Structure 1
Amino acid sequence: MDLEKSPAPAGEGCLVVAIRLPVRIVVLVLVVPVRMAWDAVVVAGRFLNDTVFRPLGRVLLWVGRAVFVWPFVGLWRYVLVPLGKGLAWLGHMVVVLPALAFYRYVLIPLGHALAWVYARVLTPAGQVLAAIGAGVWTGLAWLGRYLVVVPSVGLYRWVLTPVGHAIAWCGKGLVWLVTMIVTGIGTALYWITRILLVLPVLAAWRWVLVPVGRVLAVVAREVGAALGHAWRVAGHLSLAVGRFLGAVFRWVFVEPVRWVYRIVLTPVGHVVRDIVLRPVAEAARAAGQAGRQALAAARASARQARADFRRMLLGEPAGAPVAEPAKPQLAHRREPTSPEARTLGSSTTALTKD
């Protein structure tokens, strides 16, 4: 932490040097708790994000898909698409085909008839009417030229033009007079405004506001630099405190738990596994094998009893092959026979019996 007074760079005055050290001390005292609280909040937020928010978000995403997306996809695929295809087919059969037939067998012949009437009747009549209209228009144009246009041109040239020139000359003089009056009034208002407002404002800006602004800029710059310096120093302090707390937690909780797990619980678990669990598992497997063998023997006995009872009541079926007596099977010299199979009460096993 560089809180001592450092040599002032070139261009900085004594005011900057006098402000820097107190501002940095005060800002450091205020920023350190905020930075440590911020780091704690960041760590807690990362933990909650990894353990709570991200799994919860995945669950909510799956639920949202199951509740909103998949039903709409199924509705679109299995309801709306077939319904749309059916409506398209129905519209084609009910609207498109009748419209095509109406156009082909009604509108086209009607259009041909109207075209024949236009070519044979309306076109000659229109030509006659056009010739009559052209003659009427020519007469009206001649009358309008000599009754309206020629008198209007004379009136404009010999009456309105001289009067307009006189009015324009009077307007120019009036505009010049108004311009001179407005210019004089504007000049007077300019000098009055300059003397009463602009010069005092310029003096206040130059001799009051600029020096005060420079001092405030220096203070703001030093406060900003102090905030950045204090934030970095607080980050180092927060990192050191976090590492210290992590080391304390490790040596107080984690290492004793690891030692107990490694020195005590692991050997005890091995002993319990070797002495209790494995014998119990072997005994359970042996009991299960014996139970399966007994159940198989019981099922075989039941099937034989049903077969004997059926033969006793119904006799042998016609054409049924005569069952030959079962030949005795020679067991392997190292495998026990069924009467001598391993039991829970026997001390001799199949692996030790010769």
Structure 2
Amino acid sequence: MGNLIKFIRKIFKKNYSAKQTPDIDEISGEFEPAYVETKLRRQYLQTMVDSLPISVQSKLVIMKNLQLEQLCVDKKFYDVVFEMEIDLNASSGEMYRKRRAIIEGTWQPPDTMPNYKVPDPLEPNAAAHFRETLAKFKSVPPQTKGIPDFWITVFRNTCIAEMVQEQDVPALRFLVDISIHYGKKKPSFMLKFHFAKNHFFKDSALTKTYFLKTGIDNRDPFSFEGPQITHCRGCEINWEPTMNLTTEVCEKKQRHRGDGDKRIIYETYLSDSFFNFFNPPLMKMHKDDDSEKHKILRADFKIAQYLRTRIIPKAVLYFTGDIVEANFVRDEDDTTDEDSDDEDENDYYEEYDFSDPTDESSVEPSM
């Protein structure tokens, strides 16, 4: 199985690196379109269809018309599924309320027996090693209110781990809940991060709203695969003085050009931080755009869906290790190619008006 996975990865890497294709004059009728760059592949296949007899082309037109009719059926299916997700989120409100109360210590539930199969004990040597490694948890008082470091531990068992920097940890210890809220006016969902009172920022909650396209685009109907995130909107964080985790102030010595005296100036730089999640690029997603900013947005959208569909509903299982996903371990054969060429920022995206998609009142709270 391991060799098969490596083989599949190499195949997809080969497909992904299709930009290194031969020149057009090297493409013959026997050439495999899968290894041709996307736009050129589309032109190649369209030219192939144009080269077929009219009778065959007519059959393909009928098949595409049938496919378009099927897309309308698919849209109804996805609309129903999305409505069910909203209903499910509302029905889960009681579970989310109790979970938050347990985490932040406002409810002390009675002791109870598990209704599930308890995991088998660890191998003795491993168990002894882990207990020694985790000795600090023995210092947690027996009557501790709530569950310390709940969301930090959840994040460290998921892809979110890569987003959390060392300086973020003290602030994220104040995170007590993440809730999902769905839009009433337009298809959208909001992720709301609830924090206990802390010395990092004045806000009790930080939000990130994602807007969805649920219709079929008449200009490109066959690209429809269900509701898709088109853009998102973060929130402003009201940092306490000197506590902004997304910036770093550095001292820099500078010599005065006139008298030659040295002076110290302070420059502010953006730094990596989990809290950059709430300040996404303001742009609208475009299909087949491979610019760096769009790659960031695509990754952001995947994280949002991951939070909405897996981490938030099943957080306790990530904390306890009942869910451990293996795809966060880097394969030693994996390599990352980074483009160093800088492009004009205006080439990355089309500015989008975020003033009207929905207002805060149009987002229905889940609890």
**Greater fraction of residues in strand:** 2
Using structure 2 for the length normalisation, give the TM-score. 0.17
Bigger helix share = 1
- Which has the higher relative contact order, 1 or 2, with Cα contacts under 8 A spaced 6 or more apart? 1
Please give the TM-score of this superposition, normalised by the length of structure 1: 0.17
Higher CA-based Rg: 1
